[in-house]
Amino acid sequence: GDTERAIEDYDVALELDDTLSLAYFNRGLMYYRLTEYEKAIADLETYLELEVEAEDRGQVEDFVERLRGMIGSEQ
């Protein structure tokens, strides 16, 4: 579907330039849509590492914590 195609596009972009923070952010959201929470967390954490001064830092950190909780409740 469209979500998988978007992930493939972000994969290609990140192969060309692994510092594209928004590609990590957006790919993380796509993984979330597919309920691949571990991959979503990894990409969102990479986004935060690259964007130390991100205006949405608090929101993204909160979202990552919610995802961790979702993983915990699945096990």
- Spatial neighbors of 38 by CB under 8 A, at least 6 apart, are 71
Identify the CATH number of the domain in which residue 62 sits.
1.25.40.10
d(CA 20, CA 18): 6
Q: What is the mean pLDDT of residues 34-59?
A: 98
* Domain count within the chain: 1
User: What is the extent of the structural domain holding 58?
Assistant: 2-74
Q: Please tell me the pTM assigned to this model.
A: 0.93
d(CA 31, CA 20): 17
Closest by CA to 32, choosing from 58, 63, 72, is 63
Q: What is the mean pLDDT of residues 49-70?
A: 97
Q: What is the mean pLDDT of residues 21-47?
A: 98
Q: What is the mean pLDDT of residues 42-48?
A: 99
